[in-house]
Structure 1
Amino acid sequence: MTRLFNVGDKVVYPMYGAGIIEAIEEKEILGEKKCYYVMRMPIGDMKVMVPIQSVDEIGLRQVVDEEVINQVIGRLKLESTDQSTNWNRRYRANMDKMKSGDIYEIADVVRNLMLREREKGLSTGERKMLENAKTIFISELALAKDLTEEEAIALLDNIIYEKNASI
């Protein structure tokens, strides 16, 4: 069954990030009329149209609440989880986590890649993945805690780098 969101709801679009539903519109595209959520993504300042009947398939969900964000922040403070030394395997595992749309999984990708970048450096592909994962994570963090993009970035950097400063 399709979940119904309302104008003003804060939602997450897996692989794109969090945004706010600004409108619900009916559009005719390729001769077919469909209803769409029109989402404004504050980070990157873009608009996305999501077909309402595809919401479940896409995995659109509410932005998590403050309690969940605080649990995620606690998880960010943990040591990096074991990851394959094989770049390809590690990349695929991280991509699966990001596609899940689960904030805990995305936080793991962000933490692990930020720490790996500092310790060993990242390949171009993993650096792009880290930037994408950070954008997705920061967009939800900002909406959940009512922060600006800059405040959310600073909070993430403080959590990751302060906790692991002794490494």
Structure 2
Amino acid sequence: MEVDFLFQVGDKIVYPMHGAGVIEAVEEKEILGEKQQYYIINMPIGNMQVMVPVEKVSPLGIRLVVDMFTMENVLFVFHHGESDALLPWGQRYRINTDKMRTGDVHEGAEVVRDLMRRSQEKALNTSEKRMLDSAKQILISELVLVKGVTENQANDLLNYAGDR
């Protein structure tokens, strides 16, 4: 079976809607009678290991973590950028869900920033609280790998940046 490997062992990647991790291995596994190559990804936050079929990486939107310059830009916009206009919560939730599905660090950071700011003004409903927690963990996981900081330090960067 000929497979093109998009990533190598040791690459730091982001799995949209799940977070950042490090490719620990590429292994052939037989699941339900079908042999496939899988990336074995260690997700440091949550101490989880994920197996993703090599051929599904592109459709899932898995990407390399951003570089330091890009992350600094994300944090600058996170801190200084304007929040989205006040929309009805249902519309805001759909927009934020779409942003999270892209796997783009800028879009995810916007979701975290806007929901953090909104929560300071008014209590979030249960769905938005869950979205904020999830989006924040995904952003923190990438911050940890890019900046080489602890989970607590990454959280502090976001809490500081969320204040206005």
- The reply to whether TM is greater than 0.5 is yes
SS at match of 1:138: helix
In structure 1, what residue type is equivalent to 2:8?
N
CA offset digits 1:90-109 (Å, max 9, x no partner)? 10100000000000000000
Structure 1 residue 86, shift from structure 2 partner? 1.2
Corresponding residue for residue 116 of structure 1: 118
| Superposed counterparts of 1:84-163, under 5 Å | 84-161=86-163
SS at match of 2:25: strand
CA offset digits 1:41-92 (Å, max 9, x no partner)? 0111111111100111001110000000011011101244224431111101
Identify unmatched segments of 5+ residues in structure 2.
Answer: none
Corresponding residue for residue 7 of structure 1: 9
Scaled by the length of structure 2, what TM-score is found?
0.95
Identify unmatched segments of 5+ residues in structure 1.
Answer: none
Are the counterparts in 2 of residues 2 and 56 from structure 1 also a CA contact under 8 Å? no
Number of residues paired by the alignment? 162
Moved over 4 A (4+): none
SS at match of 2:80: coil
Q: Percent identity?
A: 51
In structure 1, what residue type is equivalent to 2:22?
I
CA offset digits 1:101-149 (Å, max 9, x no partner)? 0000000000000000011110000000000000000000110001111
Corresponding residue for residue 33 of structure 1: 35
In structure 1, what residue type is equivalent to 2:64?
Q
CA distance in 1, matches of 2:85, 2:133: 19
Q: Which moved more, 1:33-42 or 1:72-81?
A: 72-81
Are the counterparts in 2 of residues 94 and 109 from structure 1 also a CA contact under 8 Å? yes
Cα 1:83–1:34 shift into 2, 3 Å? farther
| Superposed counterparts of 1:35-114, under 5 Å | 35-114=37-116
Scaled by the length of structure 1, what TM-score is found?
0.93
CA distance in 1, matches of 2:69, 2:40: 27
Cα 1:151–1:22 shift into 2, 3 Å? same
SS at match of 1:50: strand
